[in-house]
Amino acid sequence: MSVELMAVGEALRAESIGTSVRIQGWVRTKRTSKAGVTFLEVNDGSSLQNLQAVVPETLANYEDLVLRASTGASVNLEGEVVASPATEQVTELRVLCLDVVGDAPDYPLAKKRHSFEYLRTIAHLRPRTNTFGAMARVRNEVSRAIHAYFQDNGYLYVQTPIITGSDAEGAGQMFQVTSLDLERPPLHEGRIDFSEDLFGRATHLTVSGQLEAEIMATALTRVYTFGPTFRAENSNTARHLAEFWMVEPEISFCDLTMLADVAEDFLKSICDSVLRNCPEDMQFFNDRIERTVLSTLQHIIESDFVRLSYTEAIELLRASGRMFEFPVAWGADLQAEHERFLTEEHFKRPVILTDYPASIKAFYMRLNDDGKTVAALDVLVPRIGEIIGGSQREERLDVLERRLGNQGLDPESYWWYLDLRRYGTVPHAGFGLGLERVVQFITGMQNIRDVIPFPRTPRNVEF
Ligand code: 4AD
Ligand code: MG
């Protein structure tokens, strides 16, 4: 008789009835009945639902094995998939052979419910919970959908560096990277001499792959990057990480309107993929985490996003008569409360805000004819606020040089970026989507620390 190694997710299906299988996974719960059988709920991460393994007391070493096969233990099971008499599941495993691979005495997750705060302190075990298993599968599906969208639409996946010599956002929120001995750094005229550093100059972890993506796009037309991004901002919010993943498409011969079309189409395709490919996990998030996620995703796919200029949004917020904690004034950045009012209360759908004041946006954004605003775009969604930030890029050399100067940045260190405007410049545009913000939006999870396996936030870098 041949025994097939099978994932739990497959053994749960009716088509597997009658097959002899081997199942490998971890015990979630154990229950011994008076009738002399033990039920093990086994999970291997392939599905939300566990496989019920029925261990008969006729098994050799039954007492000892069943004692050791406690919650958290890893097991190797052989047996036959049979139709389950219970209503909660289609199939179950009639066990012929049980092997405890790794015992788990005093397992910290033995209790049923734990707070997300507590689970963050045991991040090495939390993937074994329903919520974090489901999160990992949805996050995987979002990543797959991102690649699929761009690959299907003629974009090249390009890799941009993690160590950089320039501040892509010009906002100075960078982590320094150095090989110098910080206890005894080489000094020159009282200051640290970075010419002795490994790269012969000061370097940092990237805050965005955009500038390098622009290099690639001005040769290959449509590209995207997808990689880790670092921001040394000391903000302890439910929406910020010091290390997160960002997807950045960059498109040549593209203006702001075309970019907004891409952003909308792209977000819809991610939501659609998750709904189609993760129905069980999404039902779980809807039942247990946030009871609106399914209807919200469906609504997003079906409705047109609102498009509105920053100036119109300011007027609208002013006219709302609402008392906001932060005042609404032209020239100030929108706060989360303003973004939420627009998406959750006023329009009740995603909003693409465009044409922000130049003074609050990065140097690379294209200056509009009014001389006051730039061709920027933020996509705002209910519950999260900003999920995408992007712009048309300044392709005019003289304007770009002026903008760098105005923002106190040294044009010398952006020489290659300026060269792209000297040699065959084109209108081009791109945006960045935060992977964790999308996963947060899709799953309804409250805190961004719970949608990345190993969150990095101020004073938190365990695991
Ligand atoms: O708006 P941001 O700062 O835009 C850029 O970095 C551009 N260079 C992107 C581009 O045009 N190529 O960041 C883009 C997105 C945000 O909308 C947000 O989703 C996410 O990245 N993001 C963060 N996610 C988690 N933690 C943080 N600290 C984040 N900062 C930005
Ligand atoms: Mg932004």
Can you list the domains of the chain with their CATH numbers?
4-102 (2.40.50.140), 126-171+207-450 (3.30.930.10)
Residue whose CA lies nearest to ligand 1 atom number 6: 208
Q: How many angstroms separate the alpha carbon of residue 424 from the centre of ligand 2?
A: 28
Q: For strands 385-392 and 428-434, give the pairing.
A: antiparallel
The reply to whether ligand 1 has any atom less than 6 angstroms from the CB of 209 is no
Q: Which residue owns the Cα nearest ligand 1 atom 24?
A: 434
Give the pLDDT confidence score for residue 250 in this predicted structure: 99
Handedness of CA 189, 194, 197, 198 (dihedral sign): negative
What is the DSSP secondary-structure string of 399-457?
A: HHHHHHHHTT--GGGGHHHHHHHHSS---EEEEEEEHHHHHHHHH--S-GGGSSSS--B
CA 358 to chain centre: 28
- Does the pLDDT at position 293 exceed 90? yes
Please enumerate in sequence order all residues whose Cβ is within 8 A of that of 423, keeping only pairs 6 or more positions apart, or say none.
none
- Residues 175-219 have pLDDT tens digits of 999 999 999 999 999 999 999 999 999 999 999 999 999 999 999
How many angstroms does the Cα of residue 291 sit away from the middle of ligand 2? 28
Are the beta carbons of 187 and 193 closer than 8 angstroms?
Answer: yes
| Ligand 1 contact, 364 CB (< 6 A) | no
Band the pLDDT of 111: cuts 50, 70, 90.
confident
Q: Strands 203-205 and 373-381: what pairing?
A: unpaired
Rg, C-alpha atoms of the chain: 27
Q: In ligand 1, which atom is closest to the CA atom of 231?
A: 28
CA angle 385, 390, 392 (to 5 degrees): 145
pLDDT exceeds 70 at position 360: yes
> How far apart are the CA of 433 and the centre of ligand 1, in A?
6
In three-state secondary structure terms, 260 is: helix
Residue 416 has pLDDT above 90, yes or no: yes
Does 323 score more than 70 pLDDT?
Answer: yes
Question: Whose C-alpha lies nearest to ligand 1, atom 20?
Answer: 434
The structure tokens 């892509």 sit at: 168
Q: Which residue puts its alpha carbon closest to atom 28 of ligand 1? A: 240
Segment 351-365 mean pLDDT? 97
Give residue 238 CA to ligand 1 midpoint distance, Å. Answer: 15
pTM of the predicted structure, to 2 decimals: 0.97
